[in-house]
Structure 1
């Protein structure tokens, strides 16, 4: 019996020794695996479908924005050229219309000097004006003569014509061409880039001569001036007023086109 007990104890001791040895051998492996798990948790996995670098993505987006800015600059430049051309053509039409009105008001034989003295004729030599009509005629001739010149050479002519139109408005406050003079004062200021002065002159036509043929044109010009001054809302108001109050006028068609491009 004692031998059996001793043998059982020996076997138990051997098993305990083997278990301890196994635990000792497994400990470094477990510790190594734990460190690997912690490393994997602390470092996010890199997916194959993600960009290689955030910097590359930002650079790509920046290139897209720069291309869009360049495109918009081109559009703005083209629109500015179109506006300048339309203003120039419109000014020429108004000059031609004023000249025709002058000829109609003058009647047959009113211009004793013959065809060479027709307003705007290149060979005409402006005489010293002695009447309102003559003063207005000479001022229109100055504007007409400046039309084909480079812009730098136009300005002195416009400045001189501006002075003559002002004299007409001052010397003939109730004259036949006073409303026209105020309108052309506005046109000259607009051509010279003096928008506030242009606004004041066009407003005079609207306020003082509400039934004059120049009113639709003056209202349209006020819409242009307010746009140039950065007030798009006031610009729309004047253009809509032209359309509402002066249907069938040349200014109405221009106002509709202006509003279509303003949107």
Structure 2
């Protein structure tokens, strides 16, 4: 009897063990099904951060475009001011040329009298006296001029060089390098086939700075600009002025050769 009870107890316990084991094995599955996807909240924050950065970049890009537009407008206005000044100087130079031609018939005694009464500054103005002294540039001005030369000779970015020249002349309207800048402005316009603008730039050198070392070269290039613009008669007149004013200059020798090629 006792053995029968023991056997029944063993069987009863054997029937309950699988159920317990099953319950314990199911526990991790229930825990796994209840857990949410990891990192969901961090991904959403990253998305909104990227959108904010994108909006900020677009805003900065708009500001850069607006600033660039304003800079171009200011450069255009500065160029227009100088072109207007150049045109006035060209007109003045034309009137002076007419006066010189009308005075060619005067007697030599009158010329001697005029030269005797003229001041030393007047002699320097027409290039017959000693070279006039010009304000020498400081370090900052030389560096600004060097950047123009770099654009011309190294980069060959002529449009950028023209803009830099106008900015340079606005900052330094008078001085030794300012005369050089006007000369290079004429050279750049001449290379681009803008002959009227080239004549204007060269005229500033020949009219306002006749005693400068660049004046003979500028006068020669004025003749070249007239010739390329199919104004041969005016080109010859300018070459005559070059021979009369600077007969010993290299530019005058070039002018004689150029005249022979013109025929």
For normalisation by structure 1, the TM-score amounts to: 0.46
For normalisation by structure 2, the TM-score amounts to: 0.46
Greater helix percent: which structure?
A: 2
